[in-house]
Amino acid sequence: MALSPTDVARLAGLARIHLTAEELERMAPQLDVILDAVAEVSQVATHDVPPMSHALPLTNVFRADEVRPSLSAEAVLAAAPDVEENRFRVPRILGEGA
């Protein structure tokens, strides 16, 4: 199915893209190649292939949550370079807040 510059102009209009006459002439054969490739892919026998979101099966790679002993807030804040109101004090970013 060969696309004409008129067909490309109609598609460009639907997409609200302005193309010059030269661009329409150049795009027609390029879109033909794309449409041929899509048609070829759609001819693949898929009746026995279940739909999937990924080519490979995915499994959860996260470990299970478990409570373990950790440092106290006081111990962590004691190692911080600057503390304010029992929290880490960091430089202001982009002048946010007062």
pLDDT tens-digit series, residues 69-79? 999 999 999 99
CA neighbor of 23 nearest in space, from 37, 36, 8, 33:
8
> Which DSSP category does 83 fall into?
E
Calculate the alpha carbon distances from 46 to 34, 43, 49, 50, 52 in Å: 21, 8, 5, 8, 12
| Domains with residue ranges and CATH for the chain | 5-42 (1.10.20)
What 3-state class would DSSP assign to 54?
Answer: coil
pLDDT tens-digit series, residues 1-46? 688 999 999 999 999 999 999 999 999 999 999 999 988 888 876 7
Contact 8, 27 (CB under 8 A): yes
